[in-house]
């Protein structure tokens, strides 16, 4: 950690975090206030990159033309709430104590873990950049399989569907998600970090790297990385296909492109989809699509009702694509006529996907 960043972390901890924790009577808990200060500063860095780099790109090279950005409002509100409040506090109160409990509180926890990377491959301890890449490859592979399970297991999809419900996927969409879903993801990824010996500081930077890539991959921009790098890294066009609205004629097409940072996992495990035009995003299930009419509280309440309806019945534990009935219980997509479902939604889409290549007469909108 270079000196100016270290001084900034110290100042934030002493003058902001410690007084705030003392006010809430939380200063006696297991976490280090310096770590929550660093988490907040990293989150501020992330918000700045989203707001001043990714968001302008959406106006310059949009993937979809929108007549308004009204549906993105709840996403940027939620992003600020998560990054500047909930996630730093969650890290301090939950993840850090767990890491300390399992011996991950020092700067080199991998030295004491039998499954730690530096324990298995000692030479990596002298090559921090290479070690970071190895950490991230493992982390990303775990995320890929967890993400597939989020779509395949109905009770988990009940939560994760909140993330997919937006009809206006933008650079703010990445953090849109149920708090319960976020808790489960964090516990899985933090647990892997503890097992492979990732230090808390390294884990924070791993999270930042992954989150920034996901913020960009969710952005409403028509960006590809080319025929070679698109097979290695997740681009916005690649990930937009993962969020596409279900096609009644090809109902399994959207079960693709699950990678977080490395698209190579989709290539290796046969879930990569290329060559499709840019499509509108969202879900075909009217119960989940109704999320677009809700605010922050309503979104979470609806996701929890779907989750409770699924987790308390047998169908909620049977792998497969589902929609949700009016009783919030899952119904297999195999038992649904998707053409009738699409016709019955009565949804007028406010998007116009670009046709590649973009016409020379086309112009980007100046939506607020």
> Residue 200 has what pLDDT?
60
Strand partners, 221: 62
- Mention every residue, 6+ apart, whose C-beta is less than 8 A from residue 316: 154, 155, 158, 309, 310, 329, 330
| 0.85 surpassed by pTM | no
- Mention every residue, 6+ apart, whose C-beta is less than 8 A from residue 294: 74, 302
Residue with tokens 């890294």: 233
Closest alpha carbon to 83 in 138, 45, 55, 122: 45
Residue with tokens 């998560």: 82
> Residue 191 has what pLDDT?
79
pLDDT tier for residue 113 given thresholds of 50, 70 and 90: low
The 10s digit of each residue's pLDDT in 199-222 is: 666 666 777 777 888 999 999 999
Peptide bond into 346 cis (omega under 30): no
Asked if residue 149 lies in contact with residue 317, where contact means CB atoms within 8 angstroms, the answer is no
Strand partners, 322: 332
Residue 354 DSSP class: P
For the chain, what is the radius of gyration of the CA atoms? 21
Strand partners, 247: 250
Closest alpha carbon to 94 in 215, 184, 154, 224: 184
pLDDT above 90: residue 230: yes
Higher pLDDT, 281 or 368: 281
pLDDT above 80: residue 32: no
Phi, psi of 26 (to 5 degrees): -110, 0
Closest alpha carbon to 203 in 114, 90, 54: 90
pLDDT above 50: residue 356: no
> DSSP letters along 271-288, please?
----SPPP--BS-S-HHH
Token readout for 203 is 């884990």
d(CA 304, CA 319): 19
Percent of the chain with pLDDT over 90: 47
d(CA 38, CA 7): 11
Asked if residue 284 lies in contact with residue 323, where contact means CB atoms within 8 angstroms, the answer is yes
The 10s digit of each residue's pLDDT in 302-353 is: 999 999 999 999 999 999 999 999 999 999 988 888 777 777 653 333 344 4
The 10s digit of each residue's pLDDT in 86-107 is: 666 666 666 565 555 544 444 4
The SS3 of residue 109 is helix
d(CA 336, CA 318): 16
* For residues 111-129, average pLDDT: 67
pLDDT above 80: residue 13: yes
The SS3 of residue 225 is coil
Tell me the domain boundaries of the chain.
Answer: 7-353
d(CA 141, CA 139): 6
d(CA 340, CA 342): 5
What rounded mean pLDDT belongs to the chain? 82
The 10s digit of each residue's pLDDT in 263-289 is: 999 999 999 999 899 899 999 999 999
């Amino acid at each position: 950690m270079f000196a100016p960043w270290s001084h900034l972390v110290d100042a934030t901890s002493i003058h902001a975090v410690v007084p705030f924790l003392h006010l809430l009577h939380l200063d006696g808990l297991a976490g280090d206030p310096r770590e929550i200060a660093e988490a907040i500063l990293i989150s501020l860095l992330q918000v700045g990159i989203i707001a001043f780099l990714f968001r302008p790109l959406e106006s310059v090279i949009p993937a979809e033309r929108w007549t308004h950005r009204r549906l993105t409002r709840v996403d940027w509100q939620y992003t600020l709430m998560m990054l500047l409040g909930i996630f730093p506090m969650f890290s301090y109160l939950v993840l850090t104590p767990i890491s300390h409990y399992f011996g991950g509180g020092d700067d080199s926890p991998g030295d004491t873990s039998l499954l730690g990377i530096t324990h298995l491959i000692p030479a990596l301890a002298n090559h921090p950049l290479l070690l970071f890449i190895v950490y991230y490859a493992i982390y990303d592979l775990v995320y890929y399989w967890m993400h597939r399970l989020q779509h395949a297991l109905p009770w988990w999809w009940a939560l994760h569907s909140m993330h997919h419900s937006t009809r206006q996927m933008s650079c703010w969409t990445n953090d849109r998600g149920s708090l319960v879903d976020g808790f489960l993801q964090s516990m899985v990824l933090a647990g892997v970090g503890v097992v492979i010996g990732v230090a808390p500081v390294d884990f924070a930077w791993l999270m930042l790297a992954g989150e920034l890539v996901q913020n960009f991959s969710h952005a409403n921009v028509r960006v590809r990385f080319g025929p070679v790098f698109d097979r290695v890294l997740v681009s916005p066009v690649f990930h937009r296909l993962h969020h596409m609205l279900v096609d009644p004629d090809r109902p399994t097409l959207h079960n693709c492109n699950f990678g977080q940072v490395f698209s190579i996992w989709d290539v290796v495990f046969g879930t990569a989809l290329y060559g499709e035009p840019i499509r509108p995003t969202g879900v075909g299930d009217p119960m989940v699509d109704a999320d677009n009419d809700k605010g922050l509280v309503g979104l979470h309440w609806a996701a929890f009702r779907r989750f409770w309806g699924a987790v308390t019945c047998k169908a909620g534990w049977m792998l497969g694509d589902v929609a949700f009935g009016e009783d919030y219980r899952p119904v297999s997509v195999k038992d649904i006529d998707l053409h009738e479902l699409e016709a019955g939604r009565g949804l007028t889409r406010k998007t116009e996907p670009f046709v590649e290549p973009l016409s020379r007469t086309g112009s980007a909108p100046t939506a607020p």
